[in-house]
Amino acid sequence: MNTAAPISRRHFCRVTALASGALLVHVQALGEIAVRRRDHNAKATPFSPGAFVSIDPNGQITIIVARPEIGQGVRTSLPMLVAEEMDADWASIRVEQAEGVDAAAYGDQYAGGSQSVRNGWDPLRRAGALARTMLVAAAASQWGVDPSSCTTSHSTVHHPPTGRRLSYGVLTTAAAQLPVPTDVTLKNPAAYSIIGHPTRQVDGDAIVHGTERFGIDVRIPGMRVASVERAPVIGARVLSVDDAAARAIPGVRDVITIDADALPGFGDNSPRPPNGVAVIADSTWIALKGRRALRVTWSAGAAAEDSADRRAECQRLAALPPERVVRNDGDVVRAFVGAARTLEAVYELPLVAHAPMEPMNCVADVRADRCDIWAPTQNPAGARDVAARITGLPPAAVTVHITRSGGGFGRRFYSDFVGEAAALSRAIRGPVQVVWTREDDIQHDFYRPASCHVMRGALDDRGQIVAWSQYLINAQRGEFLRWQLPAGVTSLPAGDELGPYDFPAGFVPNLRLAATALHSPVPLGQWRSVEESTNVFVYQCFIDELAHLAGRDPLDYRLALIGASTTMPLEGRGSYDAQRLRHVFELAAREARWGTPLPAGMGRGIAGAYANHAYVAMVAEVEVDSQRDIHVHRIVAAADLGTVVNPLGAAAQIEGSIIFGLSAALKHEITVAKGRVTQSNFTDFPVIRMNEAPTIELHFLRSAGPPLSGGEPGVPATAPAVANAIFAATGIRVRRLPIRRVDLAAS
Amino acid sequence: MRLTLSINGQAREADVPADTPLLWVLRDALALTGTKFGCGIGACGACTVLLDGVATRSCQLPVTGAVGKPVTTIEGLSAAGGRRLQAAWLHEDVAQCGYCQAGQLMAAASLLARTPHPTDAEIDAAMAGNICRCGTYGRIRRAIHRAAEPAST
């Protein structure tokens, strides 16, 4: 059965004459569809396109991707949606990155929140279907037959009764003259030949030959390179600069102080860079040498900030009443009084950095009347706005050239590095590339917030959970990022990073979630999977603790709690299906042969969640050897991501998320001492390497319905699965990340 | 200083300070940007090139150390016998962001030149110096095994 997809009145529909005869289909992220002829000489129209497809008269089909490619595979998965519904020949399509930022044309262009495929699902398929419908109409008209007697495949319209066929290329001019249909028919998923089929990434060839251009590879004529010495202590200002030695180095062109505190406001959710001193040079190496030769005197900044003190503060606050109760079901106090058994445990997670492989960088070319930005950014609109504020130019005069990003993970959502480049280009009146070092990256990140969670659970005499309490103490990223607050609210309420609808909320009769906010100057931001990366660790470990207290199998305990529940409300955000969560637990457990014996020293742990819009569960098999070294041998994961558009790409996202989650589980910790970030490179901020990477087996649940997400939901369950496996292997319950050998020394 | 390098089988001239790491000569002076900057201390492998056929961290090698020795970068890998490895990379759809993959490929090429049929342990030993933040390790391992298979398969 086919699905009719009506085009609403809000859809812009227009066809204009054009000499080239190309057909262009425009789709807005809001679901609006427009058709017009491509006109290279015309000014952009008010409804100019979102993701769109153009077909040249020679048959070349070009699909534009408006969102940045950061390794999540959108340059393959999004065009697949268009190509499927238009029956384009996938092997011959061309993919182009949208140039610039245009909300009216493209809708949202950011990469974040695991939503690119989910939000592109309807509009991009409709774009393809609309193109197909018009091409069929053009062919049918030419043949004098009923359009419904025509079929399409491989960029060709066929008329089976007569055996005639016409390629899309020769139909573009005729198609563009036709009225735009008021609705389009989307395919029955059973007919898909692209969606759901493993499809290799479109940029693979360029990557293996070293010709794919990342932000850091941008070279424009006359470009200088800048390296910036940034405030070593959070918030420190430049008091004086002795740049004589730096300027004496041949090839050093200028030394410029970036007074970030004085730069025009970056706005809501757009943090400034630290104050700094930039050396502008002819090459990266000379810029780096010049920077090392600087002698900068800094003000004290937030020299009192210290991670150890924050941890002590959390422990002190843990004994005090919380600042805010976020959710309160039933009567937790009474339930604890009447409980057969109770348990209290404190979980702690550190600050962590993103550390994408490509360090931050940006090329800015600021002119009197315009500004060009080349940036590996997850947030092109944010980059444009920052450049506009710094240059004083209207946003429309700023063009952001979206390059491929060497990883993102949330770091490139912020435009601090774009601000530096714009400020420096403006100062030197010429193009400049700012290149961060790895040390800059580790020490001037916007870190995942550290957090402390006081967990309390109460069981009845049959071991069932009758009460659950989570008390979160943390500094909140929204405060650092100066999120816009509702009128009359002066500070971000505590508990913003709690998951008030996370499992087991709704399954336990008495449940209280509460929080107290710390106030810290440490830069904070979103980190792949955001608060789910901490909350899921805490609740999937604590439920393991309760299962153990109850003498129950950890899997059975979770499944019993889920029971027959189905729709679980997520207030204001729809709902999730508890049975889908059950099914990923069951599938992961079955494929991992949960319950079968393992050698001594090894254990299995399970964890799972509905998190970041999808359902993922996994079983970790972990060995703790006689030296107390931790070896994660195998992870068996099950995922329900809804319809999987590209199984190869989606699997890559889950596999990669597990490695990413493992690095946080076993390696990552950022600490601040006397206002300085202690770590500086991959030596003291290590990540999982090849020799430490487990075998990953991934199973997708067959799922109809729209796509859910892919980039993030594999992260959260990883750390708790490993921690629970370590408990199973050793009997030692680790409640603090990262898990280190020393944590397993005493039992 | 002015010096002549042998890059991907060609003589290339550069005028750079003598202490410039080969990485920045490739990227800034010779426009060979396929070799990537990742950490600057030889800890991540993104800058890996072949020097005399052996995987070398170009961020740690002063350019003078490369004079008189053949250097192969990712741009020259196909011509230097790497097509099979690159094809395996494509077959396994290894890359995510792709930034580290030039270094991974060069490290793998160096491994296969010495050890045509590596075991998992040998792959671990050879590749542990190359970080991938996207977590493509499983596919890298498969691609290396695939490239090491007999040509008939």
Token representation of residue A8: 């609403």
Mean pLDDT of A611-625: 97
Contact A655 B138 (CB under 8 A): yes
Domain with CATH 3.10.20.30 in chain B: 2-75
Task: Report the candidate in A639, A652, A641 with the shortest Cα–Cα distance to residue A201.
Answer: A652
- Sequence-ordered alpha helix ranges (H) in A144-195: 168-176
CA distance A36 to A42: 12
In DSSP notation, A26-90 reads EE-TTS-EEEEE--TTSPPPTT--SEEEEE-TT--EEEEE-SPPSSS-HHHHHHHHHHHHHT--G
Has residue A50 got a pLDDT over 80?
no
Q: Are strands A614-624 and B2-7 parallel, antiparallel or unpaired?
A: unpaired
Has residue A51 got a pLDDT over 60?
no
Stated length of chain B: 153
Token representation of residue A106: 């493209």
Q: Into which CATH architecture does domain B78-148 fall? A: Orthogonal Bundle (1.10)
CA distance A663 to A588: 21
Q: Which amino acid, A680?
A: S
**Do A279 and A226 form a contact (C-beta atoms < 8 A)?**
yes
CA distance B140 to B120: 11
Spatial neighbors of B66 by CB under 8 A, at least 6 apart, are: B5, B22, B51
CA distance A476 to A457: 25
Cis peptide before A504 (omega within 30 of 0): yes
Confidence of residue A23 (pLDDT cuts 50, 70, 90): low
**Do A377 and A68 form a contact (C-beta atoms < 8 A)?**
yes
CB-closest option in B29, B129, B133 to A355:
B133
What is residue A52's predicted lDDT score, i.e. its pLDDT?
73
Token representation of residue A623: 């060995």
What is residue A53's predicted lDDT score, i.e. its pLDDT?
84
Has residue A40 got a pLDDT over 80?
no
Backbone angles phi, psi at A235, to 5 degrees: 85, 0
What is residue A340's predicted lDDT score, i.e. its pLDDT?
98
Contact B135 A660 (CB under 8 A): yes
Distance of CA A255 to the CA centre of its chain: 36
Residue A315: CB atoms within 10 Å: 14
Chain A residues touching residue B95 (CB < 8 angstroms): 71, 201, 203-204, 207-208
CB-closest option in B20, B93, B131 to A689:
B131
State the burial class of residue B35 (Cβ atoms within 10 Å of its Cβ: 0-12, 13-18, 19+).
buried
For A382-419, write each residue's pLDDT tens digit.
999 999 999 999 999 999 999 999 999 999 999 999 99
Spatial neighbors of B107 by CB under 8 A, at least 6 apart, are: B45, B48, B55, B126, B127, B129, B130
Instruction: Note the ipTM here.
Output: 0.98
Bridge partners of A604, per DSSP, are A621
- Alpha-carbon separation of residue A10 from A6, A13, A31, A33, A131 (angstroms): 11, 9, 9, 9, 18
Domain with CATH 1.10.150.120 in chain B: 78-148
Contact A691 B102 (CB under 8 A): no
H/E element, B11: strand B10-15
Contact B131 A682 (CB under 8 A): yes
What is residue A714's predicted lDDT score, i.e. its pLDDT?
98
Confidence of residue A24 (pLDDT cuts 50, 70, 90): low
Mean pLDDT of A44-51: 27
CA distance A446 to A352: 9
Residues lower than pLDDT 50 in chain B: 152-153
Angle at A92 between CA A89 and CA A94, to 5 degrees: 115
For A337-366, write each residue's pLDDT tens digit.
999 999 999 999 999 999 999 999 999 999
Has residue A236 got a pLDDT over 70?
yes
Has residue A42 got a pLDDT over 50?
no
Confidence of residue A4 (pLDDT cuts 50, 70, 90): very low
Contact B136 A209 (CB under 8 A): no
Of residues A636 and A9, the one with the higher pLDDT is A636
Residue B122: CB atoms within 10 Å: 14
Lowest mean pLDDT among A14-18, A152-156, A544-548, A696-700: A14-18
Contact A409 B101 (CB under 8 A): no
**Do A232 and A276 form a contact (C-beta atoms < 8 A)?**
no
The topology (CATH level 3) of A3-194 is Aldehyde Oxidoreductase; domain 4 (3.30.365)
What is residue A174's predicted lDDT score, i.e. its pLDDT?
87
Q: How far is A405 from chain B (nearest CA, A)?
A: 7
Tell me which DSSP letter residue A181 carries: P
CA distance A448 to A567: 31
- Sequence-ordered alpha helix ranges (H) in A164-273: 168-176, 204-208, 244-247
**Do A466 and A509 form a contact (C-beta atoms < 8 A)?**
yes
Spatial neighbors of B10 by CB under 8 A, at least 6 apart, are: none
Mean pLDDT of A326-337: 97
What is residue A747's predicted lDDT score, i.e. its pLDDT?
46
Tell me which DSSP letter residue A283 carries: S
Confidence of residue A575 (pLDDT cuts 50, 70, 90): very high
Token representation of residue A534: 């901490």
CA distance A700 to A189: 17
The beta strand positions in A68-211, using DSSP E, are 94-97, 151-153, 156-159, 164-167, 183-186
Contact B90 A283 (CB under 8 A): no
* Arithmetic mean of pLDDT over chain A: 92
What is residue A176's predicted lDDT score, i.e. its pLDDT?
81
Has residue A46 got a pLDDT over 50?
no
Which B residues 80-119 touch A at CB under 8 Å? 86, 89-90, 93-102, 105
Chain A residues touching residue B50 (CB < 8 angstroms): none
Has residue A370 got a pLDDT over 80?
yes
Has residue A18 got a pLDDT over 90?
no
Spatial neighbors of A172 by CB under 8 A, at least 6 apart, are: A21, A22, A23, A55, A56, A57, A135
Q: Which of B92, B96, B144, B146 to mutate to test the interface with A (most CBs of A within 10 A)?
A: B96
Chain A residues touching residue B49 (CB < 8 angstroms): none
CB-closest option in A205, A655, A690 to B90:
A205
What is residue A262's predicted lDDT score, i.e. its pLDDT?
93
- Alpha-carbon separation of residue A85 from A4, A14, A75, A132, A472 (angstroms): 13, 21, 17, 7, 47
Mean pLDDT of A138-157: 97
Mean pLDDT of A104-133: 91
CA torsion A163-A169-A174-A176 (nearest 10°) is 130
- Sequence-ordered alpha helix ranges (H) in B64-119: 83-91, 101-114
Q: Percent of chain A scored above 70 by pLDDT?
A: 93
Spatial strand order in the sheet of A324-329: A324-329, A510-518, A465-475, A451-459, A341-349
The alpha-carbon radius of gyration of chain B (Å, integer) is 15
CA distance B33 to B36: 7
Contact B78 A435 (CB under 8 A): no
Q: Yes or no: is domain B2-75 CATH 3.10.20.30?
A: yes
What is the b/e burial string over A88-127, where b = at least 16 CB atoms within 10 angstroms of the residue's CB? bbbeebebebbebbbeebbbbbbbbbbbbbbbbbbbbbbb
What is residue A254's predicted lDDT score, i.e. its pLDDT?
98
Has residue A7 got a pLDDT over 60?
no
- Alpha-carbon separation of residue A291 from A59, A143, A247, A279 (angstroms): 53, 71, 10, 6
**Do A290 and A256 form a contact (C-beta atoms < 8 A)?**
no
What is residue A22's predicted lDDT score, i.e. its pLDDT?
52
For A258-296, write each residue's pLDDT tens digit.
999 999 878 899 999 999 999 999 999 999 999 999 999
- Alpha-carbon separation of residue A50 from A62, A373, A642 (angstroms): 13, 20, 24
